[in-house]
Structure 1
Amino acid sequence: MNGRGLAVVAVALALFVTGSAVALAGPVAGGPGGLLGGASDPPALLQFDSDEVRCPDEFAANSSTAVSAGPENTEVTYARNVSLPSSSHAVGGPTFERLNESAYVLDVPIEEAGNASRSCSGVVRYNGTVRMPAGDDPWTLIVKQDGERVTTLRGDSDHTLLGGSTSVSGSVSAPAQTNGSANSSE
């Protein structure tokens, strides 16, 4: 082979290797893709529900958090007991919004339901799951009730081809109680 033939083979080999690397890495504009991970889905409130309102003898404030981190998205499920201010209040429809590149807010309203059909102010537990793109690591999720911050969760996910891990930390604050019940620690 002459010098010119060798140059053509070298260029073809370089293009092949470069094309293979791009195919493995996937599209750059949507986050990682291909074998190294898929494109991230947009942030969203995936699920939200609340239990029936109860009239317990004592209110026990508690919450729970579960995090599922994958190569494309991180899902956070947050649940919390809420002491309602009166017998005519209930948990309303939440909002979920992005504050900046890696911070999100889940705001759960406590609304007047209109009719006072129970004998106590009531306690209810809500449960919501949100999705954040994995490329937003480290992330912050602020949980509010009626616009007041009750919890701040911070997380970071470490993903490799061999697996991953997630760490989450949080801080809790108690909203002012309007019905005289005490909020215990979470």
Structure 2
Amino acid sequence: MNFIDENKTPFLPVQLVGRCLKHFRKFGRIKQPFLGIRGRGLHMLELKDLEKICHKYHKPPSGILVEKIPEVSSANCGGIEAGDIINKLDGVVLHSPAQLTTMLLDTMEVAVNMQPVVLQATVLRPRDGTTFVANLKVVECPHGECHMLLKNRWRLPPPKEYWWGPSEWHDYSD
């Protein structure tokens, strides 16, 4: 599913759309998981940043680089800090944020009465080259509040109006 933006095309992978539809059919809504970590796949880093990380390990790691953990959710993250890499979740090697999100959505299917579900994450800490296991508490975000916690909303640009002129296109939207 593609969205509209001026400089890029944000999209939602089909695996996520399928999970959301499954939740909607089963629960009448989407049970939104909230872990409180903002990150990106290592494959999306600039080469110079990825090279620094790869020098810390005997083979190139995969996973999600943690960029931000809001104060409200740091207790759910089992000691993970910004700059850490979530390498595995419950024994499954992570490759992308979309994969992590589908795993979290699957976890929400078995969550009962807004109780947290605990998942084990293998975490790499590049600053000192250590590896540790963190218990992540995944909670269901109250309906309509997830976007407020990480400010996950983007504004759509105003639509442009184009008029056909005698010899060229004119943009009158400004």
TM-score by length of 1: 0.24
Larger Rg: 1
The structure with the largest helix share of the pair is 2
TM-score by length of 2: 0.25
The structure with the largest strand share of the pair is 1
